[in-house]
Structure 1
Amino acid sequence: MADLFNYHRRESSVVNVGDTPLGGDNPIRIQSMTTTSTDDTEGSVAQAKRIIDAGGEYVRLTTQGVREAENLKNINAALRKDGYNTPLVADVHFNPHVAEVAALYAEKVRINPGNYVDPARTFKKLEYTDNEYAAELQKIEDQLIPFLNICNKNHTAVRIGVNHGSLSDRIMSRYGDTPEGIVESCMEFLRICKRENFNDVVISIKASNTVVMVRSVRLLVDCMDKEDMHYPLHLGVTEAGDGEDGRIKSAVGIGALLADGIGDTIRVSLSEEPEEEIPVARHLVDYIGKRAGHLLVPGDEYKGFDYLHSERRKTNAVNNIGGENVPVVISNKIGSKDDQYKADYIYVGGQLPENINKDQNYIVDFNVYQELDKLGSLTSKDNIFPIYPYNATPFISYDNSKLKFLVLQFGAPSDEYLPCLKHHPEIVVVCVSNHQNRLGDQRALVHEFMSNGIQNPVIFCQMYRHSHEEKSDFQLEAAADMGALMFDGLTDGIWLMNDGDLCIEDINATAFGILQAARLRTSKTEYISCPGCGRTLYDLQKTIARIKESTKDMKGLKIGIMGCIVNGPGEMADADYGYVGAARGKISLYRKKVCVEKNIPEEEAVEKLLELINKDKNS
């Protein structure tokens, strides 16, 4: 298991992918995927060059048929002729023979256990006896071993890429739609690779649901360790979407794993031009990598904590913080009147605003609060609360506020604050850190609380220094820093601070976006949209823009927008409605994972989707 408090990369075996190996002591590799048809040599070469020029170290291309697989030879040759030696990766679904052809011309081939041998998901509940199940596993072995032999002969690496949206009916029948089922889908193939002594294997487990993705990868690493496997990992949040939401969602999931030292190559899946993914991935890798070699965090893990099946930490409910309440957002400034994302609490420091809003909670410095209390000036006492630095802990007992905030950092002497917290359940801790590995530092404080029976809620305060031009960096870093803390179940709130000219509306929107990306609090419509590839059957980017504009005010709704059928129906189980490419220019609409209308002309499909949503809303 990962060291919860001290960063170091997981030890993995080395996989040779052309002349760019991954795993072991190699750098974490960055990659993307073309959206062109792999039949289009010129277009694919041009797009691959843009990915490589942006810093991509692998380029993946869809190969849905033998013709596309064979054309990889021409694409590869054209790139090498122009001095581009970046390895190419073939992406194969549904057809083992295509994978065998692609292995002749690509440096790596991705296969999906959900559809490599098993047919496409039908969502039917099938029953297997143990003998029947064993016979299905034998089918996998019969198909996989000849493929591995071809890869071995041609020095071709393999990625076993499991997608939550395309688990087989066979796996679903025995394990259900669970992280355990996702892991077993992968392990079935890995056990054959190990038995055949085929070692150039990379693994990915992806989902649009970050909770499922992170938990599944954590479980996979544990399962591999138990079976003495150390294959490198490819990380990604599939169907993350576009724009700021796509970046934040990717950083929450990928960042949570990178911060625990897990991951050897990453792809940030955005519904944008593929080269736009590269700087996002690069910033995430570089940001987390700065933790290497940090000063030791001497944390002790709480014995009741389960990293693999984490649940929300039990806390007291104080006002609207902790207990069963959704995590709150604290802000440093009052936003504009039309700010879409209003913080739950606003820190105003040493001076209250002239006009107190009775619907807004305020936090003031403790000395100001006590002075106002003495003067009888707290006419709106129910929504004004004090905050204490650690060195003012002794003054807390003189304050009768129903909610108090106390700023703490791991490493401060605990003999004073632990008794105080036990005696004052109305205290909410604001956990700060200036450690090089802030995740480990902040985790250590909360584990100390749990080990001592402390149930006060915890707000994580993260501090940055970015200009308005660096807004994307701010969003990525804040999302990556919060990821593991949220998936560990430790988060009762988030307070983002920035020393720079970033506007408060952007800071607040980022905080709410991070909580939504981790499925902790919903504040807007969520779009589960794929990045597109050569299988995409309609203009994905324009369609996403139209759907988002038409549905942006439908708070709490999840809409899946999929370019093709590969993951479409499976991801619909995690969405309220789905818009899926069915054929060239034809769309099928889903209500969750049930197809309700097929083969709608593309020009009519967005309106039909809105009709379906409105019909359900009014029924």
Structure 2
Amino acid sequence: MILVPDTSLQLNTRYCNSLTSYSRRKTIDVQIGDVPLGSNFPIRVQSMTTIDTMDTQGSVEQSIRMIEAGCEYVRITAPSMKEAQNLENIRKELRKRGYNTPLIADIHFTPNAAELAARLVEKVRVNPGNYADKKRFEVIDYTESSYQAELERIRERFIPLVKICKEYGTAMRIGTNHGSLSDRILSRYGDTPLGMVESALEFLRICEDLSYYNIVLSMKASNTQVMVQAYRLLVQKLDEEGFKAYPLHLGVTEAGEAEDGRIKSAVGIGTLLEDGLGDTVRVSLTEEPELEAPVARTLIDRYTHREAQQKPILPIEHSPIHPFQYFRRKTHEVVNIGGHNVPRVVADYSRVENLQIEDLKGIGHFYLPLPDKWRMNDLGADYIYTGIHPAPFMLPNGLKEIVDYPIWQQTADKVNTFPVLENYEFLDVNEKHLTLNFVRVQLLYITGDQNLNQSDPGLVLLTAIKADPTAVLLIETGNAHAMAELRRLFFLLITHQITNPVIILRSFDLLPDDTLQLYAATDCGGLLIDGLGDGIMLGADYVAELEKPKLLKVLSSYNQTAFGILQAARTRMSKTEYISCPSCGRTLFDLQETTAMIRKRTDHLKGIKIGIMGCIVNGPGEMADADYGYVGVGKGKIALYRGQNVIKKAVPAEHAVDELIELIREDGNWIEPEAEGI
């Protein structure tokens, strides 16, 4: 069989310097107080206070905790004129205490507050979706003339702020949020990345007409696929339309808390950082704001020496995938991998000797002696790789075993156990499994040159893989620039029309759980967002020296992280998703306490998305992807939403969670939680 590269999918969709070599996007400089921003400077870290802006002392103390945790810009909400005015007092007190960190006023709905704040602090953030527009969730059929009239109205409302910023040397972030696009934008562009980009460009055109360029741009969304696509499209549009190369502020809105929030943030932010996009980062967690900066710093620091650490990868002249829309790579089904199946999770137990039944609890499989049955929870691994230490007992039906090829040759059950072959074994052996064979492959085995002689070993391997419908690839890399190298291998498969499924295998040095979550979410999630990958295996190569109890704990964390990555990339929903804002001075209830309370009552509702928003600014628009919403609308009052439609208004807070559950029940989406013990 001769492989013929497919060139029909080549797209002129350039959004970064290189898809194979780390290279930070070149931007203009933006002056923000004494901490300039742009590609000539390090990637900056910022966060946002959660204290009431009218509480001067509380805001100052919290700002100091954030700064000492690594925050280089402090954002503070200014929902009205009185909060905007009090920014002056907060700033004076911080300066008096020796902290010169630039302050950013966060503005929604109130142009007057923005105009005041621009005279007092170093930067203002405006949301084009609600700065001069009202959102009523109405679909309006604009004529060209009526649409232009709306643009002129926005121009008149926005120009005063631009002039003030220009006069005072104040920077501005034009920050589009996916969930708060105006009715006008939605009516013309829909709920799309293009609508997000155009929303910002409308305001940017006004700034450039007035020769004001001290601007940062952002395209935030809770949906990581939309977020990544919007930033990429923004860069492409800036270049295409001849705008200056403005710096980018990166963030995933309402990422949530704890592990889920960190993984979701890394999937979105890390994917963009890999391609050299991003000049400042904010990780939005439903936690104390001083906990956000270290997470952002961990993400950023991976790229400090990336250019020197990376191994060369052949360049990609044309991308065979669409970077601004999600399309899953076309694959054929092998057993339950690929095709229309959800991505699978493979647990690497190859370092676990003397495997016991109870050792499977950490990957979601529980044996109940009394009824003599296995049970599996929502994070039950699909496959377990035992290497040279096969399980000495019968595994549950929901878990399939993979062993090294020499072990498979000796096993008594060659039907229900599957082999993993090195590339040379795959080419040389005569006996294989009849339905499923895993093949370990690295890009270094294949040069990727489309003009290779047909006898080239790499091309021989690709040809053999394509000819074998039972082959599933386990792709891995030792390159520091890991996501790019794995992506290069995926592109090679696509251009050669190879449809075999692929499991992404990533192994890391023994890392703290939170660091592993960020690294794995970046490397694997960045591929999944582009529709690349039919499963994840987090390798245990570097944990062999651990004693068994500690090893099992690490492997359980790996399994949980793998499922979290798939959920964050929107490719497999295995648990309840909470779209919760990180809190700010506008918040009308304790977000951390409320989120924990709602999670306790609902975290068994697999696949349901619940938005928890502290105020009307962050809901219902910001929870655009949520099935249900819990939004603060007044002191002790909650509004409950189904999608973006308010169902119950002004529910007393003490009854709101019960009312939320009743709403879920009415829709037939409620199930009773199972008894404790599995």
What's the TM-score, normalizing by structure 2?
Answer: 0.88
Q: Displacement, 1:391?
A: 2.5
Alignment of 1:202-221 (within 5 A): 202-221=216-235
CA contact (8 A) 2:44 2:280 kept: yes
Q: Secondary structure at the match of 1:578?
A: strand
Q: Give the superposition deviation at 1:382.
A: 3.5
Paired residues of 1:297 and 1:441 also in contact (CA < 8 A):
yes
Structure 1 position 314 matched with structure 2 position 352:
no
Q: Does 1:353 align with 2:395?
A: no
Unaligned runs of 5+ in 2: 1-13, 350-358, 367-375, 447-457, 544-550, 671-678
Deviation at 1:299, TM superposition (A): 4.0
SS for the counterpart of 1:292 is helix
Corresponding position of 2:444 = 411
1:542 to 2:593 alignment: yes
The worse-fitting range, judged by mean Cα deviation, of 80-89 and 6-15 is 6-15
Return closer, same or farther for 1:431/1:243 CA change in 2, 3 Å cut-off: same
Equivalent residues of 1:90, 1:109 under 8 A apart: yes
| Inter-partner Cα distance in structure 2 for 1:298 and 1:618 | 49
Q: Is 1:510 matched with 2:548? A: no
2:340 maps to amino acid? E
Post-superposition Cα deviations, 1:241-284, rounded to whole Å, max 9, x if no partner, equal 01110111111111111111110001000001000101100000
Residue 55 in structure 1 maps to residue 54 in structure 2: no
Q: Confirm whether residue 429 of structure 1 aligns to residue 473 of structure 2.
A: yes
Q: Is the 8 A contact 1:301 1:447 kept in 2?
A: no
Name the aligned partner's letter for residue 37 of structure 2: L
Q: CA distance change for structure 1 residues 184 and 193 in 2, over 3 Å: closer, same or farther?
A: same
Counterparts of 1:452-491 in structure 2, within 5 Å, are 452-467=496-511, 470-491=512-533
Which SS does the other structure have where 2:45 is aligned? strand
CA distance in structure 1 between the aligned counterparts of 2:101 and 2:240, rounded to whole angstroms: 34
AA aligned to 1:306 is: H
Moved more, 193-202 or 53-62: 193-202
Paired residue for 1:589? Answer: 640
- TM superposition shift of 1:449: 1.2
In the TM superposition, 1:156-171 aligns within 5 A as 156-171=170-185
CA-atom RMSD, angstroms? 1.5
Q: After superposition, what is the alpha-carbon deviation per residue over 1:385-436, rounded to whole angstroms, capped at 9, x for unaligned?
A: 0001122232344324310011011021412211111221210011100001
- In 1, the alpha carbon distance for the partners of 2:196 and 2:657 equals 32
**SS of the residue aligned with 1:307?**
coil
Which residue matches 2:602? 551
Distance 1:394 1:530, change over 3 A: same
What is the rounded CA distance, in whole Å, between the counterparts of 1:600 and 1:74 in structure 2?
A: 36
* Structure 2 equivalent of residue 224 of structure 1: 238
Partner of 1:112: 127
Corresponding residue for 2:344? 328
Residue range with higher mean Cα deviation, 571-580 or 548-557:
571-580
Q: Secondary structure at the match of 1:203?
A: strand
Q: 2: CA distance between counterparts of 1:596 and 1:94?
A: 24
Question: Is the contact between residue 415 and residue 433 of structure 2 (CA under 8 Å) also seen in structure 1?
Answer: no
**1: distance between equivalents of 2:102 and 2:656?**
38
Match of 2:547 in 1: none
Deviation at 1:572, TM superposition (A): 4.0
- 1:174 pairs with 188, 192, 196, which one? 188
Using a 3 Å threshold, how does the CA distance of structure 1 residues 494 and 510 change in structure 2: closer, same or farther?
same
Distance in 2, Cα, partners of 1:208 & 1:192: 28
Report the equivalent of 1:568: 619
Offset of residue 305 of structure 1? 2.3
**2:3 matched to which residue of 1?**
none
1:185 match: secondary structure: helix
8 Å Cα contact 1:163/1:567 also seen in 2: no
Q: Which amino acid aligns with 1:277?
A: E
Give the share of equivalent positions with the same residue, in percent: 50
Which residue of the other structure, out of 417, 422, 428, is the alignment partner of 1:395? 428
Q: Return the alpha-carbon distance in structure 2 between the equivalents of residues 160 and 170 of structure 1.
A: 18
Q: Deviations over 1:124-160 (max 9, x none)?
A: 1111111110011111211222211111111100000
**TM-score, normalisation: structure 1:** 0.96
Q: Contact conserved, 2:262 with 2:295, CA < 8 A, in 1?
A: yes
Residue in 2 that maps onto 1:343: 381
Tell me the SS of whatever aligns to 1:49.
helix
Gaps of 5+ in 1: none
Partner of 2:27: 12
Query: Which consecutive segments of 4 or more residues in structure 1 shift more than 3 A?
Result: 299-304, 337-340
Is 2:222–2:623's contact at 8 Å kept on the other side of the alignment? no
Residue in structure 1 matched with residue 149 of structure 2 by the alignment: 135
Change (3 A) 1:343 1:299: farther
Q: AA paired with 1:349?
A: G
Contact 1:581 1:587 in 2 (8 A): yes
Matched residue type, 1:180: L
Alpha-carbon deviation of 1:358? 4.8
Q: Distance in 2 between matches of 1:326 and 1:46?
A: 47
* Cα distance in 2 for residues equivalent to 1:141 and 1:260: 34
Question: Contact conserved, 1:302 with 1:447, CA < 8 A, in 2?
Answer: no
SS of residue matched to 2:217: strand
Q: 1:288 and 1:342 mapped to 2: Cα distance?
A: 34
- The 1:290–1:390 alpha-carbon spacing in structure 2 relative to 1, beyond 3 Å, is farther
